[in-house]
Structure 1
Amino acid sequence: MRLKSPRVAVRAILKHEGRLLLVNAYPDGQSALMCAPGGGVETGASLPDNLRREVFEETGLHITVGAPCLVNEFHDPASGFHQVDIYFHCVVDGSAQVDPDWKDKEAIVSEWRWVTAAELKDMHHKPDSLRAVAFGDAGAVMYDPLEEIVR
């Protein structure tokens, strides 16, 4: 049996006025799981360029990409899907308001939410280390070992 290579993705730790932007990337509310905006990288573009593209596609926001802050990997044992996410600290360029009528081109993102650390604590989200990365020591780079994705 030939093993598939993990998918590589980039994600934004995008904070504004003490709140972190999260998205629900399950069409039609199939899951309540929230995560940082971002997605798969395309060959030939840098990780920051991919992240700017992904955040714009999902939210309509323009961002400046800063330093990497987390490498996370997750898998779905049922399907064999394995993804490595590289997270970057980012800031919004211009308005931080997501147009409520914004539609990403793949029609996957169904919700956007700016959340506080306290709200994130009580919310179904991945990765498990997201709160520490977003609201902890901004200078720390973390590795979050392989975890099972749970819907």
Structure 2
Amino acid sequence: MNSPRLAARALILHDNRLLLVNAFPGEHDDLWCAPGGGVERNASLPDNLKREIHEETGLTIAVGTPCLINEFHNPDDRFHQVDIYFRCTITAGTLSDDWQDPEAVVTRRRFFCRNEMDALRFKPDSLPEVAWSTSGLSYDPLELLVKPSQPMKGGA
């Protein structure tokens, strides 16, 4: 069995709005998540996160403290990922519809108000509670991997 995949993700609140990304070309699916991605060997989690955020959004960030550990898996193919979320702040840049993810993974990026999250499909389920909380580190138990055609619990 392969080890779980490790990813770093950013919770970025700017003007009390949360930055989320969509990684489905052509608006194929409406699932949103916090920006970030898989870690590369021989680089720290914060360094990996800075690289991923710049690739996906064009923003430069300062990485703060961890605030959430989330696990998800697909028992059918034994896929298992552990996401570590960090509170982050923007230090340079602004979102632009013209920005192109060099890896062509993220196709849309946008800030959402807390009340907009109620009508939004997102993962993990605890995302808004953690993002707008001032508490310490949270842990989400193992969630099933959601495929684009599956119904979502979070927000919808």
> What is the TM-score of this pair, normalised by structure 1?
0.92
Q: Secondary structure at the match of 2:3?
A: coil
Alignment of 1:47-62 (within 5 A): 47-62=45-60
Aligned residue for 1:145? 141
- 1:108 and 2:105 aligned: yes
Q: Secondary structure at the match of 1:82?
A: strand
The answer to whether the 8 A contact 1:71-1:144 is kept is: yes
Structure 2: state its 5+ residue gaps: 149-156
Q: Which 4+ stretches in 1 moved above 3 angstroms?
A: none
Aligned-residue sequence identity (percent) comes to: 54
Structure 1: state its 5+ residue gaps: none
- 1:29 and 2:27 aligned: yes
> What is the TM-score of this pair, normalised by structure 2?
0.90
Q: Which piece of structure 1 moves more, 7-16 or 100-109?
A: 100-109
Q: Secondary structure at the match of 2:116?
A: helix
Alignment of 1:82-121 (within 5 A): 82-95=80-93, 97-121=94-118
Equivalent of residue 130 in structure 1, options 124, 127, 131: 127
RMSD: 1.2
Query: CA offsets, 1:14-54, max 9 Å, x none?
Result: 11000000000123333211000000000110000000000
